[in-house]
Amino acid sequence: MDLRETDEQQLLRKSVASMATKYGHDYLIAKAKSGEKTTELWAEAGEAGYLGVAVPAEYGGGGAGMVELSIVAEEIAAAGCPLLLIVVSPAIAASVIATSGTPEQRERWLPGFATGRVKMSFAITEPDAGSNSHRITTTARRDPDGKGWRLSGRKYYISGVDETEATLVVARLEDAASGTLRPAMFIVPTDTPDMSYQPIDMAITSPERQFTVFFDDALLPDDALVGGEESGLAALFAGLNPERITVAAYSNGLARYALRKGTDYAKDRSVWGAPIGSHQAIAHPLAKAHVEVELARMATTRAAWLYDAGDHAAAGEAANIAKYAAAEAAINAVDAAVQAHGGNGMSVEYGVGTLIGAVRTARIAPVSREMILNYIAQHTLGLPKSY
């Protein structure tokens, strides 16, 4: 593996950064406070082909991989205007459909992902299941009149349902013969009758909202099932590694933005006749955060490279490590930047205090720090399972 980016990857990074800088953190905060969406940024990123960079070329995408999509996610976040739906739609949903969808599903959905015209949310979390996906109670069964599938259940903390055309729902199939439940994934248009959702009041300043989603015996067509009745587990795993990798890239970008703001302030702000950055109490936390962010970026690139190489066993471990490292590095970077600003760090004007909730969330979602440590302890170190 060569950590040096190709000329094409360097050009992609530069181009995405140039586009995202036109928007910036003030744009994001203004949209969040007004209740609007980052429609203009998403549309421009889609038209430029950035959102579809990992979609197969035969469906109009860039034909690249998770390395390139991570570059897109990181650079947009590094401009201070992260797009959470990159994680949900191009990374999870498009990857699942590209790898596990039927030919008809690929033809229907992937061209829209390629241009950013289609947004799809992802629903796995439930109030009583938490990180234990084996306790998911949302179930699907054959409609007794042969019309398709009936979906019932509730999902929790689902991002962006109000701005997506469909939701990729993780459920369990009822096997009438054996009584067992098997994992399955369904593409559910958000205007489906007997599907409803309500917002969750969050303490985070973000244009993307979180929802509780309800399925009350919702009728779905036969072709809503992704990949077939036996492909549910494979389809689910196809989306989990891209999710962790792009969350890591998203966190790395926010960390870089915070470090840039903190470092610039430490250079410009003077007390007792010298810039505050000349004092080790300010300089060392910023320098330490930079080291941590660069290590997290390398871990993220490695995870994306392994995923693109098709080494999914190694990519699973690497994606978890990258997500863990990036979340911790981002929290420390934002903390150092806020502290360097002193009281100004908590002012919206200076653009660092508004990052606290965003980076703190990455320690929890899409999988918590503790569950990642459980995974590493069991699968990497060979320790007994602790849960």
Q: Which domains does the chain possess?
A: 7-118 (1.10.540.10), 122-229 (2.40.110.10), 233-380 (1.20.140.10)
Of residues 129 and 111, more confidently modeled: 111
Label residue 182 by pLDDT band (50, 70, 90).
Answer: confident
Residue 178, pLDDT score: 62
Residue 281, pLDDT score: 97
Token pair in block for residue 64: 């690249």
From the DSSP assignment, how many helices (H) and strands (E) are in the chain? 12, 9
Query: Phi-psi category of 350—alpha, beta or left, where left has phi over 0 and alpha has psi -120 to 50?
Result: alpha
Residue 236, pLDDT score: 83
Token pair in block for residue 179: 């009584």
Q: Give the C-alpha separation, 171 to 111, whole Å.
A: 26
Find the angle CA(351)-CA(356)-CA(357) to the nearest 5 degrees. Answer: 120
Q: Do 51 and 44 contact (CB within 8 A), yes or no?
A: no
Query: What sign for the dihedral angle of Cα 265, 267, 272, 273?
Result: negative
Interacting residues of 42 by C-beta distance below 8 A, sequence separation 6+: 51, 83, 85, 116, 119
Give pLDDT tens digits for 10-36: 999 999 999 999 999 999 999 999 999
Residue 235 scores a pLDDT above 90: no
Token pair in block for residue 262: 């903190």
* 199 three-class SS: strand
Q: Give the C-alpha separation, 178 to 173, whole Å.
A: 11
Residue 92, pLDDT score: 97
Residue 175 scores a pLDDT above 90: no
Token pair in block for residue 297: 């970026």
Q: At how many degrees (to 10) do helices 7-21 and 39-47 cross?
A: 150
Of residues 67 and 4, more confidently modeled: 67
Q: pTM of the entire structure?
A: 0.96
Q: Which residues pair with 225 in a beta bridge?
A: 186
Residue 323 scores a pLDDT above 80: yes
DSSP string, 204-230: S--SS-EEEEEEEEEEE-GGGBSS-TT
Label residue 148 by pLDDT band (50, 70, 90).
Answer: very high
As a whole number, mean pLDDT of residues 304-329 equals 96
Q: At how many degrees (to 10) do helices 66-78 and 7-21 cross?
A: 30
